[in-house]
Amino acid sequence: MIETRGLRKSFTTRQGAVEAVRGVDLTIDEGEIFGFLGPNGAGKTTTLRMLATLIEPDGGSAVIAGADLRTSPGEVRRRIGYVAQGGATWDDSTAREELVLQARLYGISKAEARTRAARVLDGFQLAGYADRKCKTYSGGQRRRVDIALGIIHDPRVVFLDEPTTGLDPQSRAHMWDEIRRLRAEGITIFITTHYLDEADALCDRVSIMDNGEIVASGTPAALKREISGDVVRVGVASPALAAEALGSAPFVNKLETHEDSIRLYVDDGASAIPLVLRALDAAAVPLGTIELHRPSLDDVFLTRTGRSLRES
Amino acid sequence: MKLLRDTWLIFQRQALLLLRNPVWILVGVFQPVMYLLLFAPLLKPALGVRTNAEAYEIFVPGLLVLLAIFGGLFQGFGLIAELRAGVIERSRVTPVSRLALLLGRSLRDTVSLLSQAVIITLLALAFDLRVVLGNLLLAYLMLALISLMTSAMSYGVALAVKSEDVLAPLMNTVAQPVLLLSGILLPLTFAPGWLQGVADWNPFSWAVDGTRALFRGDLGAPAVWQGLVIMAVLAVAAVTWAARLFARSVR
């Protein structure tokens, strides 16, 4: 659905040229939620704005929903939706007016635009406020209007720049549901985010971006698997006995003994836990607690860049 | 065809938002009426004319051109607010004509200026101003061209600077000499030779002369067609320039 090769963009500032995006290759399949994860300033938004025809790339190529970005940006515009980070509604307009206008800017007739606006307002549970001015909406409601504006013309791909930034946890969960609903309707979704949990929970595949380059790509699960396997932490009254029972087990890569627990480094925590329980049971070591720690996308980022995403 | 449709869409929306804010109508009419009531009476003795009607014949066209220039030049502020709200970017991801994004807005400004002009002309009629309808319509055409040009210029500058803090002093700096050198408030017939020479380089002084000739009933005066041609050329130039900025990246 989206295929880019060597996409580049640099900006000139007073401090000199800044290479915001340095050769991005992406392949995004139809019907997936694809996430662009990275710290602020990594080049995510610049890449998105290039793909949405808002800024022209310095180099490279991209084909989006079958249209070539460099040679037919007009065709790309017809096939995509784009929702900017800062929102796009006007205080004194109503959601319905905004939606009808947006549809008509895509060349849709007045009657059809009204029908679509009504349908989308229902879909996003906005019908109750549709005729109130946008300035009266809550953050979450206004964000839903933004997304509705981005899909009013039935695009095949929609770009969402930081769709949940600034939302409270409940609105955020609601927004995730909306995004999954769009995928169920067959729209390919490309989001940027700097939230690890969002990339993990929402995205089918992610690319991690840092400093204008992609440092890792894959499904969240596969990326994390590449790291170092899982850690099983076993809380016991006598760590020495537990260590003895498990020290020579073949599935344990490494074992650390702590004051009231042991930590086992294993390839796959889910299959290791029953084995741990059985070994402890056989050695008659009473079990206090057992926890599974899986590597997070932050660990992936840390491995690839030497920094933690939370710190940058 | 697509350009017309898109322009109409943008115009409609902008006009709707303008009408939703009734304060504008008050302010837009209040100021010129004050000029008409409080400033114009000084003119009969100052200009050395015999009747009020003659004084208004000179003053009203100048006042209308002044409104067209200033009304247009400060439209950019609204656009900066729209940029900040993300409305412009939202339009730019659609296939809408970039020229329509500008024209729809500038035409809204032109229509609102013309409605102000009509109100002021009607009031001036009460003060014994008399003008031939055909001439009046040509004068309105002149005003429309001025307003189209200054509002397009203002939008272009707004897109280039993207900040109210830069736009305000910039527009004031442009407006002041333009105002003084156009003989808007007092005709430049009283000006010393060098000042008239400088004013000849101010396109708006041609527009003012032309509009005054029309109000005087002097349709054949060269200032009429010269003013119209100069304003038309500049309006096309300003619109072309600003529309290109709409097409280029704006944040």
For A229-256, write each residue's pLDDT tens digit: 788 888 888 888 888 888 788 888 888 8
Amino acid at A69: L
Which residue did the predictor score with more confidence, B182 or B226?
B226
Type of residue numbered B235: A
Taking residues A197-204, report their average pLDDT.
89
Nearest-CB residue to B13 (from A91, A101, A107): A101
- pLDDT reading at A1 higher than 80: yes
Mean pLDDT lowest among A120-134, B32-46, B94-108: B32-46
Least confident of A61-65, A186-190, B27-31: B27-31
pLDDT number for residue B91: 92
Q: Looking at residues A71-89, what average pLDDT do you find?
A: 91
With a cut of 60, say whether residue B251 has pLDDT above it.
no
pLDDT at residue A100 in the model? 96
Query: Please, are residues A54 and B93 in contact by the beta-carbon 8 Å criterion?
Result: yes
| CATH fit for domain A2-224, picks 3.40.605.10, 3.60.21.10, 3.40.50.300, 3.40.1670.10 | 3.40.50.300
Interface test with A, best of B14, B92, B93, B99 (most A CBs within 10 A): B93
Tell which residue, A263, A270, A264, A234, has the closest CA to residue A252. A264
Whether the CB-CB separation of A157 and A11 falls below 8 Å is answered with no
Rounded to whole angstroms, the Cα distance separating A258 from A60 reads 53
Domain extent listing, chain A:
2-224, 228-294
Residues of B in contact with A94 (CB under 8 A): none
Show the tokens assigned to A212: 């204008």
C-beta atoms of A107 and B2 within 8 A: yes
What is the predicted ipTM? 0.85
Q: How many A×B Cβ pairs under 8 Å?
A: 59
CATH of domain A228-294: 3.30.70.980
Q: Please provide the distance, in angstroms rounded to a whole number, between the alpha carbons at the two ends of chain A.
A: 31
Put simply, the answer to whether A92 touches B9 (Cβ < 8 Å) is no
Nearest chain B Cα to A83, which residue? B90
For A70, list phi and psi in degrees, rounded to 5.
-80, -35
**What radius of gyration do chain B's Cα atoms show?**
19
The whole-number average pLDDT for the span A86-96 is 91
Domain that holds residue B227: 2-247
Paired with A62 in beta bridges are: A4
The arithmetic mean of pLDDT across residues A252-273, rounded, is 83
Choice among A37-41, A112-116, B233-237 with the minimum mean pLDDT: A37-41
Please state, in angstroms and rounded to a whole number, the distance separating the CA atoms of residues B122 and B207.
21
Query: With 70 as the cut, is the pLDDT of residue A311 above it?
Result: no
Of residues A84, A91, A105, nearest to B94 (C-beta): A105
**pTM score of the predicted model:** 0.84
Minimum distance, in Å, between the CA of residue B198 and any CA atom of chain A: 38
Mean pLDDT of B66-81: 90
Check if B126 contacts A (Cβ < 8 Å).
no
Confidence of residue B149 (pLDDT cuts 50, 70, 90): very high
pLDDT tens digits, one per residue of A127-171: 999 999 999 998 888 999 999 999 999 999 999 999 988 888 888
Strand order in the sheet with A230-236: A252-257, A261-266, A230-236, A287-293
Confidence label for A312 from pLDDT (cuts 50, 70 and 90): low
3-state secondary structure of A106: coil
pLDDT band per the 50, 70, 90 thresholds, residue A98 = very high
The answer to whether A37 and A206 are in contact (CB under 8 A) is yes
A125: left (phi over 0), alpha (psi -120 to 50) or beta: left
Q: Where are the alpha helices (DSSP H) in B74-163?
A: 76-85, 87-92, 98-126, 133-161
Give the model's confidence band at A299: pLDDT under 50 very low, under 70 low, under 90 confident, else very high. confident
Q: Name the least confident of B17-31, B123-137, B146-160.
A: B17-31
Write out residues 86-105 of B within 8 Å (CB-CB) of A.
86-87, 89-96
A172-188, pLDDT tens digit by residue?
Answer: 888 899 899 999 999 99
Chain A residues whose CB is inside 8 A of the B2 CB are 107
Q: Does the CB of B44 have a partner CB in chain A at under 8 Å?
A: no
Collapse the DSSP code of A34 into the 3-class scheme (helix H, G, I; strand E, B; otherwise coil) and give the result: strand
- Residues of B with Cβ-Cβ distance to A69 under 8 angstroms: none
Query: Which tokens is A262 given?
Result: 């042991």
With cut-offs at 50, 70 and 90, classify the pLDDT of residue A310. Answer: low
CA pseudo-torsion sign A73, B151, B177, B28: negative
Are residues B192 and B213 in contact, defined by beta-carbon separation less than 8 angstroms? Answer: no
Confidence of residue A228 (pLDDT cuts 50, 70, 90): low
Q: How confident is the model over B207-231, as a mean pLDDT?
A: 91
| Cβ neighbours, 10 Å, residue B21 | 10
Residues A212 and A19 sit within 8 Å (Cβ to Cβ): yes
